[in-house]
Amino acid sequence: MGPPPFAVAPFAPPGPRPDKGQLTPNTCSYRTYVPMIACLVIAGFELRAALRKQPALALRPAALAPVPGTEPLIGAVTAAAEQLGVRAGMRLGEALATCPQLVLVEQDPAEVEQAWEEILRSLEDSGFAVDTAQPGCVYFETRGVERLYG
């Protein structure tokens, strides 16, 4: 007993089929939906949100100031600060010794929340069903928008 007629694989070379004769293009078309989950990560989002109030600092060596009462480690840094050797997670004293002109930007949780809500609203308005992990990181399924955005 041979395989049933529908068992012809989509990648089988054209040729006579036991059930019908010649195989023509697109005769066997199997479409399977595979869910695609995308992740959008905005590096240094907290610093970017804080710099919305002081956009001129975005081009200067700047870093997110340590949270008061915690270990004195700086947060995200601008590209200018990174070029001068400052890295996120450095001790405050080491960062200032590495780059004396480093500007410390105070953390602003309210501004972070507002900026993040604007981004989420924009994604939702574009047709994405979003699932936020934390400010600066969001997951969404691409179903429904893949034809719009590829």
Asked if the model's pLDDT at residue 30 lies above 70, the reply is no
Predicted local distance difference test score (pLDDT) of residue 23: 54
Predicted local distance difference test score (pLDDT) of residue 25: 58
Q: Pairing relation of β-strands 103-105 and 62-64?
A: parallel
Predicted local distance difference test score (pLDDT) of residue 127: 81
Strand locations in 1-96 (E) = 16-17, 21-22, 37-41, 62-64
Domain positions in the chain: 37-149
Residue with tokens 């480690």: 73
Most confident of 35-39, 88-92, 128-132: 88-92
Q: What is the pLDDT of residues 66-107, one digit of tens each?
A: 988 999 999 999 999 999 999 999 999 999 999 999 999 999
Asked if the model's pLDDT at residue 63 lies above 90, the reply is yes
Mean pLDDT check: name the lowest of 22-31, 65-74, 112-121.
Answer: 22-31
The CATH number of the structural domain formed by 37-149 is 3.40.1170.60
Q: What is the pTM of this model?
A: 0.68
Question: What is the rounded distance in angstroms from the CA atom of residue 60 to the CA atom of residue 45?
Answer: 17
**Token output for 14:** 């054209």
